[in-house]
Structure 1
Amino acid sequence: MSKTIDIFVDYPGQIEHLVKELELLLSHSLTHKYDNYESWYEFQNQTIVVTLSNHDFEDDRDLRFSDYPYQISIRAINIPAEMERQKVCEDFTKMIWQQLKTQKYHLILVEDLQIKLDSFVPLVTT
């Protein structure tokens, strides 16, 4: 089973605006996808899948999902070696994480929807 890393974003606008910002950060377009139950935006290349969506997760201990309406999920694909797959996922996530921090959003970084890896609260200047 492939590990996922998720970035939860407290973005004040509509998801369509966040899609545009993420497309600029990734330098790639996201495709709008949907099934019978939900819709999401997705970027995929040969080794990585990035999805952006709303979520309905409930708060769990120190994971206050309700404070972060949007979920960016990152997972590596088509890489047989587990260690390499994990590194590709972590490296890509780190790049997105660092770029999102420059946008001054509240963020949490979560592994497999269970382990809080990091959080970011932008400094407020007046």
Structure 2
Amino acid sequence: MPDVPLSAQERRLRLRREARASRVEAAALADSFDESTGLSWFWALVFGPLYYLVHGFYARALVVLLLDLMVIGFVLSPFLAYPAWRKRALGRAEAMLRVDRDRPSTGRVLYPGRAPA
């Protein structure tokens, strides 16, 4: 089949479909990167900002600390734990998919004239 140039609308539609498929694939893969436990909410309630600092959620630790000064943080802290873990898992899944997409396929020769290693 000869190469027929795509219209701008067809290109946009194709890109939207690819983006949607990529998001779905990342969401499915994110479950394997989710490190939260069933008691993450409890530890966030007990330790508050320290829980978030230990796990590297620095912005959330600052928000919870500021909210703790207004007494609201003690109530909201457990509800911020799971979304933090979910966001981190989704970011890791997207990064892994990006690396996987950028990796050259095994059938392609990177250096013409030389055998692949």
TM-score, normalised relative to structure 1: 0.28
User: Highest CA radius of gyration, 1 or 2?
Assistant: 2
Which structure would you say has the larger RCO, counting Cα contacts within 8 Å and 6 or more residues apart?
A: 1
TM-score, normalised to structure 2, is 0.30
